[in-house]
Structure 1
């Protein structure tokens, strides 16, 4: 029977991390699985706990949102340790990409019975931030600023915090001139944002890259060009369904490595946690992590 170590972000989703684990934990134990629980003090601490559990041959459960999922997934990338997710954050976008159920019994069955599958991860390098590995996406521009506002929100949760953060970010944003190099080919881009996506979703359910796949060895690169603000607000709404990809203001490329530069200090982020300033290089690490989904 499988042996699990749950690494919990106790502040995820407004302190719901531990609560989200309770029902799943009961079902795992009733089925005969072993389960130990560790509470993280920080993302770095969560990564250390996950590595230590993996070295003992245990399956690691990341309990929280995209920050702890991406942080632990990055820490385990390149190892044989298997990762499972118990979604309990604001966005849960990587869990959404994997189509993980929210119902405890269905999730417990996946954790108990599914065979691990390999997924891609993203290596992120920047002079402004130490090398890291994440799961979902790297985004540079207005959405990085929007994510910062969402993380700072105390009154709003989930999609509402990201939408409000987006409105606040766009209000004061002016388009930047980017140099985007994909697999050695340079592309000039002026606009709002550049996203290198392994996951279809970001920002609490917004389908930024609907065609992205976690196991194809490629990043989907979405570039939103300069447009009137009223049109950008329309694009924000279309992100709910992915309809934005059909607009001429949106360009999509695919590749294994991307470098993003800009004509001024532009913020970038990754999986809701990394916050730094361009330039940044992101490259896909094909099949570098084993997951249950």
Structure 2
């Protein structure tokens, strides 16, 4: 029996890229006998409502876009028996990269038509469901800068945003509690990772797995800014974990707090910025059923 899909798209965020990906994909799925319904959201909360309604109707729900949209739609389905499909059409597509989701239309259509759903973990971050990672530090500031950049897009916007964030960065005093054990240090950032990839293709947690019931907590401690840029370059292949400034912890619950008096820091989640520290990230084992290769 052919599957029925509902594709949830946010036309306000990367709409042209989403359309360019979805139109040939929907055509291919329909030619194979599947039904495809396309729903355009007015924002993230509306996207969540559309996803839940489609799941209640028994449809396979497709999140079309980048990590923000995929995290939003997938997060709305976490904890249910709904089947989720990812259509990578954004700037980063880091969660799709972790799962090995193809971008080529024919391969992706075959996966969605024939692939099996597998249970993967999610994260609860201060009540918000997150798929990839929660991060708090210079990367979240860079994320904020990139979102405010109007002249650049994609990795270029993030690169310029990161340069601005590092140039203005002052060491932050963190208290990170992993499964009840406290760690205090001055540093650049803390990443609680379910997926190994974040920030437009950076392999920040190379040993992270989406089905092990654990979060990999990557800590980048204080050091010269030139050293920090070296660490950033090494994120492409994961070799940064051998640096003395980098420590990897592992646990089921991670609380990230800032101890610098009078200072606030945003935290990021799947490319969005939902709030400021403190944040508690707790793994939700096997919370989401995703069609994967």
TM-score over 0.5 for the alignment?
A: yes
Do the aligned residues in 2 keep the contact of 1:159 with 1:205 (CA within 8 Å)?
no
Residue-pair matches, total:
288
Tell me the residue number matched to 2:33: 32
Deviating beyond 6 angstroms after TM superposition, the runs of 4 or more aligned structure 1 residues are none
Do the aligned residues in 2 keep the contact of 1:12 with 1:88 (CA within 8 Å)?
no
Tell me the residue number matched to 1:257: 253
Instruction: State how 1:200-219 maps to structure 2 within 5 Å.
Output: 200-219=196-215
Q: Give distance in 1, aligned partners of 2:290 and 2:173.
A: 38
Tell me the residue number matched to 2:242: 246
Q: Give distance in 2, aligned partners of 1:153 and 1:215.
A: 35
1:51 matched to 2:52:
yes
Do the aligned residues in 1 keep the contact of 2:258 with 2:277 (CA within 8 Å)?
yes
Q: Give distance in 1, aligned partners of 2:218 and 2:257.
A: 15
Gaps of 5+ in 2: none
Tell me the residue number matched to 1:128: none
1:109 matched to 2:105:
no
Question: What root-mean-square deviation, in Å, do the aligned CA atoms of Structure 1 and Structure 2 show?
Answer: 1.0
Q: What SS class does the counterpart of residue 54 from structure 1 fall into?
A: helix
Deviation at 1:14, TM superposition (A): 5.9
1:266 matched to 2:262:
no
Tell me the residue number matched to 1:149: 145
Deviation at 1:20, TM superposition (A): 0.9
1:163 matched to 2:162:
no
Tell me the residue number matched to 2:229: 233
Do the aligned residues in 1 keep the contact of 2:21 with 2:89 (CA within 8 Å)?
yes
Map Cα deviations across residues 77-135 of structure 1 (whole Å, 9 max, x no partner). Answer: 0001111011111111111111111110000010000110000000011xxxxx21010
Q: Give distance in 2, aligned partners of 1:200 and 1:55.
A: 31
Q: Give distance in 2, aligned partners of 1:226 and 1:112.
A: 48
Gaps of 5+ in 1: 126-130
Tell me the residue number matched to 1:62: 63
Q: Give distance in 1, aligned partners of 2:53 and 2:154.
A: 31
Map Cα deviations across residues 19-62 of structure 1 (whole Å, 9 max, x no partner). Answer: 21011111100110111000011011111000000000100000
Q: What SS class does the counterpart of residue 102 from structure 2 fall into?
A: coil
Shift in CA distance, 50/14, structure 1 to aligned 2, threshold 3 Å: closer
Q: What TM-score, normalized to structure 1?
A: 0.96
Q: Give distance in 1, aligned partners of 2:274 and 2:163.
A: 19
Deviation at 1:234, TM superposition (A): 1.1
Tell me the residue number matched to 1:93: 94
